[in-house]
Structure 1
Amino acid sequence: MAEPELRERQGTVTVTGWQTWGTLGGLFLVSAGFIAYAIAPASVLPLFMDTFSIGKTAASASISAVFLTWALLQIPGGYLLDRFDNRYLVFLGTGLFILASLTGLFVDSYTLFLGTRLVSGACAVFVIVGSVNILGRLLPENFEALGLSIFIASPPFGVAVAQYSGPRLAALYGWKSAILVYTLVALFGLAVSVTVLRQPVKADSRVTVHQFVAALRNPTILIISTASFCTYAVWTFLNTWMPTYGTEVLGIELAAAGATTALVPLAGIVSRPGGGWLSEKLGGRLQPVILISFLASILFLYLLSIAPSPTTFAILLGLTGGAVNLAVGLYLVYVNSVADASTHGTSLAVLLTFSQVGNLVAPLVGGWLIAQLSWTAGFGFAAGLAIVGVVLVVFVPTTR
């Protein structure tokens, strides 16, 4: 792969090639470590419940807590990113997350443990959105789509690592060891980022209240964000309900069904950068790749719903996960290309807020449809979201 060219545009940073790769690698590790920490309780839930003497509903709150404060503080955090040096906000947010995570390992009260999770979630806007904003200003134009797509593969990478390593670490050293390892991964990524990223990363002028409100109302960004909502909702529907579908409908053992569902985030590790690569091959065009993602998702969701065997189910689940993930990194590039240079942080926060809402809504609506109607209704819901995505992409203004 060719080394990225240098660039110097409004609101961007001029860096060397090794600084580009070092920053991308460091922030990737910070993000992957944070996401692995966020979902870590899910892979060791029985041990987690025994430690605090709680039930499933209370235990699931440890995961929801992170995403709750993340969603609530996303837009205010984006405003801060548009006003101050993003390096310091990312470094501070990551440091506070690490401190909260380590504190959680030493508390005996579940209430206090939840408090550390809420604090960590509040840091996510700087850990994730801030990292995207830094890379959006740092990466050269000829590498932006692929570079951001590589970074946005860090969440499914973190999910896959937690799903695979969590139970194994817990069996050897206890469930807290998994959280410690993921936190140390983020700490190492922070150390790399602090070492290589020396120049200030901020807009050339501070965002005004008028610009902030205009960014929240930008119709193009709202359309892109709604398309991202659809993508994330389908992705979360697959991750949430396919283990149960495999068990109830195809007779797969729960452990095997869970391992099969891990193909969804694993496919994302490949397909998210793949979407950026394909966009570059199409001359930087974004709409065709996003459209392919939604159309392929519709087809594979239908085939998945009628899969006759566990083997076919596994193959189609991997293909569906790959199709859904293809567009994820491109939404970030899209927003960067249409947002005012002074409101990148706010615009990205809007995008990721919509995405988080998709994560929160899909399991609930999908579960209600499955319980009240049928699995066909659940798959229809997911396919309907993809159809809405097609319509949105067709009407969104073109870029490049």
Structure 2
Amino acid sequence: MTPQATDSDISETTAESPVRTANSTWWLVAGTSLISMGLAAYEIVPASVTPLIRESLQVGPTAAGLVVGVMFGTAVVVSLPVGAVLDRTDSRIAMALAVGILVIAGVWGWRAGRRGQYESILASRALGGAAYVVVWNAGIDMVSRAVDGSHRATAVGIFTASGPVGFALGQGTGPLIAHRFGWPAVFLAFIVPAIVGLAVFWPASHGHGGSRGDAPSLREFGAVLRSPSVWLVGVLGFLGYALYLFVNSWGSSYLTQGLGFSLAVSGLVVAVFPAVGVVSRISGGLISDRVFDGRRRPVVLWSFGLAAPLLLGFTQFRSLALLVAVLLLIGFAVQLTLGLSFTYVRELVDPRVAATAVAFQTSIGLAGAFVAPIVGGAVVNRAGFEPAFLLAGAVAIAGIVVAWQAPEPGRQ
């Protein structure tokens, strides 16, 4: 005979269930963030050993830079199709498959590097880029669905902070790994945190990754791409990522060539720019959720509003301490938008196509990241650093204008 549950048993189960659910949710956030951190480190780490790659493979700076850049290009092309697939499948399984693809890409790149096969390295990196965009889009989608509205932007901000953490990890440890094991080993090293992240993520994600009922129709998919609101937030992501990559790409060169600082000092100074993103991307969601009661537009307006005057006046600063402070402020301001925009865009569409909206945001944002260093370099070559930073300031002003036009979720 099956024993009957008592009232106290039921009340205890009811009381404990939300606690267990909350715990598993934040373990899910931790696991997805760790996977993303490993992939971000894999993405940037060749930049830390570029001289070794050039010497070993006998390639020029453009070809060596493509070993990093090919992942951005792949993400721009692949992101939207990935989002459409995620809206029709289980994001939990997609995350696990992406980690498996990273393992294949890492081993492939390591073997190609040891054999001096440049084209094969690029192909492996393109495969890794596909894995990265799956993890990024699926991670944002799952975290957004797992966390309630009052904490959603904060949780997504924590997840997106995995990007700058991974960049710092890759840049800082890449040369050490190359010195100890040879430079091709950098393609293998960051498989480990991704696998550990999957081990944390998998049990915590049970029940969070399933599809949302029937697959969205082509009409619903098309509605995302036709939405003026989605495009406005997409443009905000494009402008934000353009500023982020412009300063990352040309800030050090300006300090070295324009102000005469050593390359080592310039690199350390500019490193504060992405590093502050760990605080900024989390703060963007927290400020939006807590200070502005879930409104997204005020944070984005402050983001571009603070960055614009600092970028316009950046070349007027000469003091090293002042330059560090200004770069911290610009980095903090710009990255407020980078984390929040993914929460923003998915709240503007039907939940059935939320992953498609996030994928669209990723694709548009990374297009800005791909274009900005090239355009910035062209301006620097033709007119110098001061016009280039003035153009960056104008981009931030354009961000203010676009943010002013963007609607609030639920208030369209």
TM range (shorter): over 0.9
Structure 1 residue 118: Cα displacement = 1.1
2:269 to 243, 249, 260: 260
Q: Please state how far the C-alpha of 1:148 moved relative to its aligned partner.
A: 0.4
Paired amino acid for 2:138: G
What residue ranges of structure 1 are gaps of 5+ in the alignment? 1-5, 7-13
> In structure 2, which of residues 291, 315, 323 is the aligned counterpart of residue 313 of structure 1?
323
**How much has 1:100 moved relative to structure 2?**
1.2
Say whether the 8 Å CA contact 1:82–1:342 is kept in structure 2: yes
The whole-number CA distance in structure 1 between the counterparts of 2:135 and 2:20 is: 21
What is the Cα deviation at residue 170 of structure 1?
A: 2.1
Q: Is the 8 A contact 1:39 1:63 kept in 2?
A: yes
Aligned-partner Cα distance in 2 for 1:55–1:356: 24
Q: Within 1, Cα distance between the matches of 2:172 and 2:325?
A: 19
Q: TM-score, normalised by structure 1?
A: 0.94
Q: Cα RMSD (Å) of the superposition? A: 1.7
Other-structure match for 1:178 = 186
Partner of 1:10: none
Residues 250 and 310, structure 1, Cα contact 8 Å, conserved in 2:
no
For structure 2, list consecutive stretches of 5 or more residues without a partner in the other structure. 1-14
**Mapped partners of 1:348, 1:211: distance in 2:** 15
Aligned amino acid, residue 242 of structure 1: G
Quote the Cα distance in structure 2 between the aligned partners of 1:167 and 1:309.
Answer: 30
Does the Cα contact within 8 Å between 2:347 and 2:354 map onto a contact in 1? no
With 70-79 and 165-174 compared, the bigger mean Cα shift is at 165-174
1:394 match: 404
Q: Supply the distance in 2 between the matched residues of 1:50 and 1:18 (Cα, whole angstroms).
A: 49
Q: Moved runs in structure 1, 4+ residues, more than 4 A?
A: none
Matches within 5 A, 1:51-200: 51-107=56-112, 108=115, 109-199=117-207, 200=209
Higher Rg: 2
Match of 1:272 among 249, 273, 281: 281
Q: Partners in 1 of 2:403 and 2:65 — Cα distance?
A: 35
Give CA-to-partner distance per residue, 1:85-111, whole Å, 9 cap, x none: 111112112211222112211221122
1:177 & 1:119 partners in 2: Cα distance?
17
Tell me the residue number matched to 2:383: 373
Contact in 1 for aligned 2:280/2:336 (Cα 8 Å): yes
Instruction: Give yes or no for contact 1:246–1:310 (8 Å, CA) kept in 2.
Output: no
- What corresponds to 1:26 in structure 2? 31
C-alpha deviation, 1:183, in angstroms: 1.6
Find the aligned partners of 2:20 and 2:108 in 1 and give their Cα distance: 36
Residue from 224, 236, 244 that aligns with 1:227: 236
Instruction: Look up the equivalent residue of 2:380 and give its one-letter code.
Output: I
2:333 maps to which residue? 323
Identity of aligned residues (%): 32
Q: Which residue of 2 aligns with 1:39?
A: 44
SS in 2 for 1:141: coil
Q: 1:286 aligns with which of 280, 296, 304?
A: 296
- Preserved contact between residue 288 and residue 295 of structure 2 (Cα < 8 Å): yes
**1:246 and 2:220 aligned:** no
Cα distance between partner residues in 2 of 1:57 and 1:303: 30
| CA distance, structure 2, for counterparts of residue 126 and residue 80 of structure 1 | 10
Say if 1:264 and 1:321, in contact at 8 Å, map to a contact too: yes
Once the two structures are overlaid, the 10-residue window that deviates more, 56-65 or 39-48, is 56-65
Partner of 1:213: 222
Structure 1 residue 259: Cα displacement: 1.6
1:199-254 C-alpha deviation (Å, 9 max, x unpaired): 14322321111111111111101000001111110010000000100001111111
